[in-house]
Structure 1
Amino acid sequence: MTQNTNPWSRSPDPLVEDIAAVLKRMGGSAHQQDVVQCVAAMKRQRGETVAQDLASRVLEIFEHYCDLFFRPFGEGSMRWALQPGVA
């Protein structure tokens, strides 16, 4: 049986795609707060409501999708990046 190792094949939450797009535009990594602000701006541009818990949702996504995102400076860092080869 062949296992699909493509991290995008899991039909991720649309927020995952927004976060990845922001990180790609920022060169692959950025401070968590910058990502939150950019995702909020993207949502506003699309006419979507920005939930008050967006920052906590972004952190939840970062931590849940560790096959897509990681902390390049280690635990405790507020900087997140795309896993190598994900872009």
Structure 2
Amino acid sequence: MTNTNDQPTSPWAEKLDDPLAHDVALVLHRMGGSAHQDIVVNCVAAMKRQRGESVAQDLKSRIIEVFERYRDFFIRPFGEGSLRWAIAPEVLHGA
């Protein structure tokens, strides 16, 4: 997301160079900062459809890869066995 001056409009735009990661962050942000993995997948798929993009069969695995690749940005607030993901508090609150 950018404005007319091509400056990032979200606080995480500079940290997430992957468009899918940006979509995941946007969904989590809109959900209050955290959500179950399946909800994130469904919401990202819906966003893609609204933009007229195709939704690949491997979207869920690609989103899980995004969560793992950006572990300094996305955390599991209830521990490693949980399927709930969140934006790290220091990212969400700008600390």
- How would you bin the TM-score normalised by the shorter chain? 0.7 to 0.9
Structure 1 gaps of 5+ residues are: 1-5
Q: Percent identity?
A: 65
Residue 5 of structure 2 aligns with which residue? Answer: none
Match among 71, 75, 78 for residue 73 of structure 1: 78
Q: TM-score, normalised by structure 1?
A: 0.87
Measured on the aligned residues, the alpha-carbon RMSD in Å equals 1.6
Residue 87 of structure 2 aligns with which residue? Answer: 82
Runs of 4+ in 1 over 6 A off after TM superposition: none
Say if 1:70 and 1:43 are closer, same or farther in 2 by CA, change over 3 A.
Answer: same
Q: TM-score, normalised by structure 2?
A: 0.80
Q: Which has the higher contact order (CA 8 A, sep 6+)?
A: 1
Give the aligned length.
Answer: 82
Structure 2 gaps of 5+ residues are: 1-10
Say if 1:31 and 1:49 are closer, same or farther in 2 by CA, change over 3 A.
Answer: same
